[in-house]
Structure formats: C-alpha cells, structure tokens
Amino acid sequence: MNDMQNIENAIDAATEAVRVSTAQLDELSGAKTTGEPVGLANLMDVPVKVTVEIGRTRVPLGDLVKLGAGSLLVLDREAHEPADILVNGKVVARGEVVTIDGAYGVRVTSILTTP
C-alpha cells in the first residue's frame, strides 16, 4: 500500500508540475484602432514569389520512375500559347517566353482582371 501511495503522490506532483493555467482574455471592444494604418507604400518592398508556368502534364508513377536524361515530357500547351505568370500561386498575367542575354525571361502580353 505504501508503494501505491508513493505512486499516487508522484502522479499528483507531476500533474501539478505540468498544470497549465489559462489566462482570461479581455473581451474585444468595438473601439476604433489607434495609430497609422500600414498603407500600401509600406508594403512595396515586401518580396513575393513570381512563377512562370509554360505547361503541365500528368504521367503514371510507373512512367515517372523510368524518366532519365534525354526523356521528353509533352506539356498541355501548344508552343505558341502564352505562359502563365503567377504571383504567390495565383495567375495574374500571361506572357511569352524570351531569352535575355542567354537567360530565360518572360514578356508580359496581358494582365488578367479579376471579375
């Protein structure tokens, strides 16, 4: 019985040691915020991810594991079709792929408007 009491005391002590107390959060009021708004000018230097997508394809896993140097994947677009320009994963424009001093680039041909 003494061992059982020691175990219960150890459990109680461990429970007390890890007890998490919750703080009461103040109720949000309908009061107006104070200070200046962030404003668009303050966000102009925030980097965003820009991706150019020339096409996609789906292949069975069995074909994918057989790919090697020299393998070809046929994409879902014709060579003359524009590439999608995505900002943070959302298509915002279309353009044509070009080379600039030996590097790839994209010339914007149209900006998509949101409905």
- At 23 the pLDDT is 61
Q: Are the CB atoms for 94 and 85 separated by under 8 Å?
A: yes
* Nearby residues of 82 by Cβ (< 8 Å), 6 or more positions away: 94, 95, 96, 109, 110
* Fold exhibited by the domain 47-115: Surface presentation of antigens (SPOA) (2.30.330)
Side-chain-side CA neighbours of 65 within 13 Å: the count stands at 2
Per-residue model confidence as pLDDT tens digits over 21-74? 656 667 777 777 777 888 888 899 999 999 999 999 999 999 999 999 999 999
The pTM assigned to this predicted structure is: 0.62
How many CB atoms within 10 Å of residue 85? 21
Per-residue model confidence as pLDDT tens digits over 60-113? 999 999 999 999 999 999 999 999 999 999 999 999 999 999 999 999 999 998
Short-list 92, 107, 90, 97, CA closest to 75? 97
